[in-house]
Structure 1
Amino acid sequence: MSQPDVLDQRAIIDRREVADRLAALTDQKSHGEAVAILGQALAHGRAEIARRLTEQPGNGRAAAQATAFLHDQLMRLAFEFVGGPSHDFALVGLGGTGRGEMAPFSDLDLMFLTTKAATPEQERASEAMLHLLWDLKLKVGHSFRSTPQLLALAKKDMSVRTAFLEARLIWGNAALFDAAMLRFRKEVVAGTAAEFVTAKLAERDARHVRMGDSRYVVEPNVKDGKGGLRDLHALYWIGKYVHGVERPADLVGAGLLTAAEFRRFDRAERFLWSVRSHLHLLAGRPEERLNFEYQPRIAEIMHYADRPGKSAVERFMQFYFLNAKTVGDLTGVFLAQLDEQMGKKGFRFALPTIRRRPKRLSGFVLDRGRISIPADDFFRAEPVRLLEMFALAARETLQIHPIAMRAAARDAVLIDHAVRRDRRANALFLEVLTCRQSPEIVLRWMNEAGVFGRFVPDFGRVVAQMQFDMYHHYTVDEHSIRAIGLVAAIERGDLKQDHPLSTAIVQKQIASRRVLYVAVLLHDIAKGRGGDHSEIGAEIALKLCPRFGLDAAETETVSWLVRYHLLLSSTAFKRDLADPKTIDDFVRQVQSPERLRLLLVLTVVDIRAVGPGIWNEWKRTLLRTLFEAAEERLRLGHKQHGRSELVSLRQKDLADALGWKSSAIRAHANRLSDSYWLAEPLSWQIANARQVAAAEARFGDVKPSVTVEDDAESGATRVSVFTPDREGLFYRICAGLASAGANIIDARIHTTRDGMALDNLLILDGRNKPYHDRRLRNRLVKSVEQALTSKEPPPLPAAEPGRPRSSAFEVAPSVAIADRASTRTTVVEVNARDRPALLASLAAAIHGQHHQIHSAHIATFGERAVDVFYLTRADGRKLDQQDIDALRSALLAATTQASEAQAA
């Protein structure tokens, strides 16, 4: 393989000039001086390549080729300088080095090839050259191989085989290299195409699993992630191995891609190379993960601009995901063509034949058990068949042949207004959407083919659209499809252990399944349009639902669910569920038991589809508590019935778990208010009860008791504090944890009827991991105890140096004070960018105003913290307007100072 053409090579490195300077060196100081000369050439070349990329930010492949050229010249100069032998010796580039494409800080992958075992002279020259490259701070992967050794290893090791597949002579004996390559083709490659393809596909699948197994993760790996450069390279490797193609464009002549498909291949590769090159340059190292810190900076470099409802970075990332989708589309059609070609030679690597035949094919055909089309114009003859194919796949649980997918992707443009209004087409779409078995899989196929977005243009607007925050793990379309899959899994009973209440609701208690599925589909459909996506989405639902075939009542319910799909979670996570006013306000919005049941299921799948680790026992407890309180109120129509029964039930569960005497459990239960029994999960209640009993047995009610334990459900560490209540207590606890480096992610505070405080907090360390180390736990306990027992309130810890991951996001701090949200207290909600010690800063501001915190509800959504406090003045009254104004200023100052300290 020859080095790709690079424009104005001498501007990158003047090889003759550098060679002359190296030749003039004396023997005594030659190595150090050579490193200096080569280092200057490397720095100059990198600067020139970076300048070109700045001028043409979308031409990353040219930068990759220029970078490979620069390193080629440096290796040749180093090879000559150390007196590298030319007889029976070759310097060979492997992998990306051999392909002639390197990102700015990619590793060099080299092989020193000899006819037979290396001589001392060859080894000396090779090591001297490597020392030069290492002293240039280049990372070099290298091997010494004779031709027989290379062939023996390539037969056994697929990674060696793949690397040499792209080998290129950089310097040395061309005849030796050519002979080795010829023997490699004859002795290793010939007759092993099936083995190689199977291995590469298995390797690709394993790599995808390691990288999250989705091309729509919001911080993708540009090189190794699903839909990344490695997937395109894998297609080229397979084409080269099977057909001997010399460059990607030859895949067209090999019959593996059409000319139009190769143009898509070429555009996607060029874009991905651009992103990867900018990523390396910004990081100053071989960074492959496109994380939040770099996304807005690359968007700016590549000239993306803000648009109404969508920021520049969101537009850039949407284009990234569309290119990743293109890579997936091309992989499917490439493998389908390859499968057909290899099938004629007696080998298939795709799915085995499914012998069962569906009852009705409606004109489609089966190809080895997969749905296919009888003729290339099958969809053009009747475009509704584009929907029918996916409905058939869902109904019969069949795969779709890649040839049919290729035709569907090509013919999706046939879906026009007439098809969208077609009653049969809408019935077929609804059949796919509400399929119990595999809606997630089939909807994803429909989305990959572009049929989904064409049939529901509002959905097409959120395809590949990311949400630039640390909370959502997937693009909007992927999140919605995953949520639909979760509804189906709940309906099948697959998640009964995780969600028994939702399972019972979906299986037995809702009036219309399709209302639920359509609401889940539409709940985020207005993201990225500016304004409140819930309100805009509700208007979209009013238009789409009749088209789908829903009646007026169903349409109204779907629209309400979309409008209020965040109501249940925001109430449960940010309000005091023991306050009757909270339940009153919530029930006033919901109005009907059917809406409540549907809203619960929608909320559950919405949270779970955000990403791994988002759902936990705490959220389950809060949602169920609110649901049960609201359901009781709606069913019986009065306020307090059911609340006392629920509290009694939870106290009985605790008594059963503890096995204490009835008098002991009764005394413990009477000390705590209803809010405690309604808010805390049983496992925490058990731990709290034992902690209280042990503390009073040891200390009476004098010394504070602090325990630190793992909480498996939340994936965090629980800190429980039992101590005499006092002014500023919550601030002291927060400051003590913050000074030990802990980040509070949830806090619930309770005051017993005899003047003791029992507070439960969830924390993570500076790496967002729980505290497993016993020494660190002891440090936490001592820090909190010291904060509680010191005469003066502890100072706020200084902001830690360094740039936090959340600093890539702008979160304008805000303070909302709701005087009517509670009958007895003033409710204060603070939104700000999350950071260590934020909660301590807010608690300090409240303490400084001499207010009393009765309840705190802490929630984090990625980079955004939402902290809610139920407050009274020191005299127990609600805050007046003067108090409110002063508190708002103090809290805003606390968040602003925190942001400035962190930025510094």
Structure 2
Amino acid sequence: MAPGRQAESGDGPEAARAALAAARAERAAELDRWLRSLLTAAPARPVHEDVALIAVGSHARRELTPGGDLDLVLLHRGRAGIAEIADRVWYPVWDSGLRLDHSVRTVHEARTVARGDMKAALGLLSARLIAGDRALADELRSAVLTDWRADAPVRLPELSQMCRERWESHGELAFLLEPDLKEAHGGLRDVHVLHAVAASWVASGPDGRVRAAHELLLDARHALHEVTGRSTDRLVLQEQDAVARALGLADANVLQRLIAEAARTITYAASHAWRRADRFTRSRRGVERRPVGDGAVDHDGEVVLARNADLNDPALALRVAAAAAHAGLPLAPATVDRLAEHAALPRTPWPAAARDALVSLLGAGPAAIGVWEALDQAGLIVRLLPEWERVRNRPQRNPVHRFTVDRHLVETATGAAALTREVARPDLLLVGALLHDIGKGRPGDHSATGAAIARDIGADLGFPEDDVRVLETLVRHHLLLPETATRRDIDDPMTVQTVTAAVSAVPGREREILDLLAALAVADGNATGPAAWGTWKAALVTDLTRRAAAALSGGSRPVLSLI
């Protein structure tokens, strides 16, 4: 078997990945020829009449990576001496060092096993004939597909539960420092599941974007196996630079960003497929339609455009997104695509209606995250906020952070929605939270760099000049309260003076800015992760905020409790 080669230093990503794909195809062809020779040489009586060697799993899909297992089924029609035929195939495979998962079945036996074993069913859905009786192989595939479709109302909920348990165990691929490329949410396994859901005729199969994402993850897994010489699917930190080089990429940061993008594409597609499956398995008397906002209608559990929606309205996309988030419903993928292709988007400076719709979307809280993701998958976010491209899918590479930079910003903004009643300007809190780390990925201090970017974005969004200066201050000093409270002596008057000086950037709005920074500290800490925020830090920040408020007012005034 010819092993795939590792990329040379001069290879670009396209050449390196093409080499890996070619190596997998060549290996699949060589394995097929070898296995075919083992089967045809086994018995005195020809096997093309009543015996078939079937590949399932990754080899059936011609995706077998260097550390992957070979999964084979020897199918027969009650043939005498089938055990001897099996031994003449299995033993050479074992002797070669390949890990083999094998079985010997009649069509009836294979069909029975598939109806009771989800793993066996998923494998047989992708079954591919290597050698032997084609009619026998076709009979098996037809029977398994017939059973799968007939049993879909029962099997799909079972498969859904298995996926949720796997996701709980392995986490979300896009946001893990050391992800499992196969089993994590958004990984290779989920693409195989998408094919299974499609085989039930409940949802369409993976589209071109999902297939491209799958190929990226498969190439990464292939490179990982070659780099480590092991069958591991977990991309640990110490292997990431080597895997990046094997893929012709500059470094681990580029690799992680591509993996995050691929995983989020797969996760988004899977969420839509499972919504379709859930609707299929629920008993429904008819399709429900009800208005959920101006230009938005709930159509069978998804938000679609109303018939009279004005595609020339620059606020339409954001307003429909906000309506979906407040209704707790997803946007229908076809609606997102239509908005991306045909809806007018706001020009700078944004009209007030578009800015209000953005604030309303963020103000919906956690329900806005899935809606934002849908807009992002369609490319709408970077068209609305071009600066978003620099933080999109950018890895943090820090165990304190749970998310990529862009997802952290959205998590912070939607988390800040719970604090909007505690501040005088909820709109500035939400937009400031969305932009507080917008400077990451650029040279210099991300707070200072981000402040300049936030100033420009604030102006583009149509905020008045004073509000733009408040946004700039929020981004510039979003770490002021937690860092000062935990690193300096709060009893020192100079510590409080540091805070009051920072919030005095916009005269007359000092207390407003202080309250906004306090709320932003809570939302930012909670969105970062458990290690970034807790009762101890909250108590210190509350105390510092109280002292700064007293200094600003000349007395003691209540402040937002952060505990």
Q: Sort the TM-score into its range (normalised by shorter chain).
A: 0.7 to 0.9
Are 2:503 and 2:513, in contact at CA under 8 Å, matched by a contact in 1?
Answer: yes
Alignment TM-score, normalising by the size of structure 2: 0.83
Identity of aligned residues (%): 27
1:275–1:411 Cα change, 3 Å: farther
Task: Pick the aligned partner of 2:118 from 158, 162, 175.
Answer: 158
SS of equivalent residue, structure 2 residue 331: coil
Are 1:63 and 1:277, in contact at CA under 8 Å, matched by a contact in 2?
Answer: no
Asked if 1:623 corresponds to 2:553, the answer is no
Asked if 1:300 corresponds to 2:262, the answer is no
Which residue number corresponds to residue 527 of structure 2? Answer: 609
Which residue number corresponds to residue 596 of structure 1? Answer: 514
Are 1:208 and 1:214, in contact at CA under 8 Å, matched by a contact in 2?
Answer: no
Are 1:409 and 1:451, in contact at CA under 8 Å, matched by a contact in 2?
Answer: yes
* Structure 1 residues 687-836: aligned runs within 5 Å: none
Deviations 1:25-61 (A, max 9, x none): xxxxxxxxxxxxxxxxx4xx11558789978312243
Asked if 1:231 corresponds to 2:163, the answer is no
Are 1:278 and 1:298, in contact at CA under 8 Å, matched by a contact in 2?
Answer: yes
Which residue number corresponds to residue 168 of structure 2? Answer: 209
Which residue number corresponds to residue 544 of structure 1? Answer: 457
Are 2:359 and 2:430, in contact at CA under 8 Å, matched by a contact in 1?
Answer: no
Which residue number corresponds to residue 563 of structure 1? Answer: 476
Alpha-carbon deviation of 1:204? 3.5
Alpha-carbon deviation of 1:562? 0.6
Asked if 1:114 corresponds to 2:69, the answer is no
Task: Pick the aligned partner of 1:406 from 323, 337, 343.
Answer: 337
1:374–1:356 Cα change, 3 Å: closer
Asked if 1:133 corresponds to 2:93, the answer is yes
1:566–1:237 Cα change, 3 Å: same
- Structure 1 letter corresponding to 2:350: R
Q: Distance in 2 between the 1:172 and 1:80 partners?
A: 8
Q: Distance in 1 between the 2:310 and 2:176 partners?
A: 32
Q: Distance in 1 between the 2:394 and 2:283 partners?
A: 31
Are 2:188 and 2:217, in contact at CA under 8 Å, matched by a contact in 1?
Answer: yes
Asked if 1:279 corresponds to 2:238, the answer is no
Alpha-carbon deviation of 1:478? 0.5
Q: Distance in 2 between the 1:262 and 1:86 partners?
A: 41
Q: Distance in 2 between the 1:423 and 1:533 partners?
A: 29
Deviations 1:362-406 (A, max 9, x none): 34444224321256x967544532122112223444442232123
- Structure 1 letter corresponding to 2:213: A
SS of equivalent residue, structure 1 residue 294: helix
Task: Pick the aligned partner of 2:299 from 362, 367, 380.
Answer: 367
Which residue number corresponds to residue 291 of structure 1? Answer: 236
* Structure 1 residues 315-714: aligned runs within 5 Å: 315-331=254-270, 347=280, 357-358=290-291, 361-374=293-306, 380-411=311-342, 414-415=344-345, 417=347, 421-435=350-364, 438-488=367-417, 490-491=418-419, 507-508=421-422, 510-577=423-490, 581-590=494-503, 592-636=510-554
- Structure 1 letter corresponding to 2:299: D
Alpha-carbon deviation of 1:563? 0.3
- Structure 2 letter corresponding to 1:535: A
Task: Name the one with the larger helix percent.
Answer: 2
Q: Distance in 2 between the 1:388 and 1:297 partners?
A: 45
- Structure 2 letter corresponding to 1:417: R
Q: Distance in 2 between the 1:136 and 1:304 partners?
A: 33
Are 1:313 and 1:468, in contact at CA under 8 Å, matched by a contact in 2?
Answer: no
Q: Which runs of 5+ in 2 are unaligned?
A: 505-509, 557-562
- Structure 2 letter corresponding to 1:191: A
Q: Distance in 2 between the 1:78 and 1:625 partners?
A: 77
- Structure 1 letter corresponding to 2:28: A
Alpha-carbon deviation of 1:105? 0.8
* Structure 1 residues 263-274: aligned runs within 5 Å: 263-274=208-219
Are 2:478 and 2:521, in contact at CA under 8 Å, matched by a contact in 1?
Answer: yes
- Structure 2 letter corresponding to 1:276: R
Deviations 1:622-662 (A, max 9, x none): 43444445445445479xxxxxxxxxxxxxxxxxxxxxxxx
1:406–1:234 Cα change, 3 Å: farther
Which residue number corresponds to residue 95 of structure 1? Answer: 57
- Structure 2 letter corresponding to 1:545: G
- Structure 2 letter corresponding to 1:482: E
Alpha-carbon deviation of 1:212? 2.1
SS of equivalent residue, structure 1 residue 484: helix
Question: Which structure has the bigger radius of gyration?
Answer: 1
1:408–1:292 Cα change, 3 Å: farther
Q: Which runs of 5+ in 1 are unaligned?
A: 1-41, 244-254, 306-311, 492-505, 639-680, 682-904
SS of equivalent residue, structure 1 residue 609: helix
Task: Name the one with the larger strand percent.
Answer: 1
- Structure 2 letter corresponding to 1:133: V
Which residue number corresponds to residue 106 of structure 2? Answer: 146
Are 2:514 and 2:545, in contact at CA under 8 Å, matched by a contact in 1?
Answer: yes
SS of equivalent residue, structure 1 residue 485: helix
Number of residues paired by the alignment? 549
* Structure 1 residues 61-72: aligned runs within 5 Å: 61-72=21-32
Q: Distance in 2 between the 1:452 and 1:123 partners?
A: 60
SS of equivalent residue, structure 1 residue 111: strand
Task: Pick the aligned partner of 1:242 from 201, 205, 212.
Answer: 201
Are 1:49 and 1:63, in contact at CA under 8 Å, matched by a contact in 2?
Answer: no
Q: Distance in 1 between the 2:84 and 2:531 partners?
A: 54
Alpha-carbon deviation of 1:129? 4.5
SS of equivalent residue, structure 1 residue 530: coil
Are 1:561 and 1:595, in contact at CA under 8 Å, matched by a contact in 2?
Answer: yes
Are 1:569 and 1:623, in contact at CA under 8 Å, matched by a contact in 2?
Answer: yes
Which residue number corresponds to residue 46 of structure 1? Answer: 3
SS of equivalent residue, structure 1 residue 264: helix
Task: Pick the aligned partner of 2:180 from 215, 218, 221.
Answer: 221
Alignment TM-score, normalising by the size of structure 1: 0.54
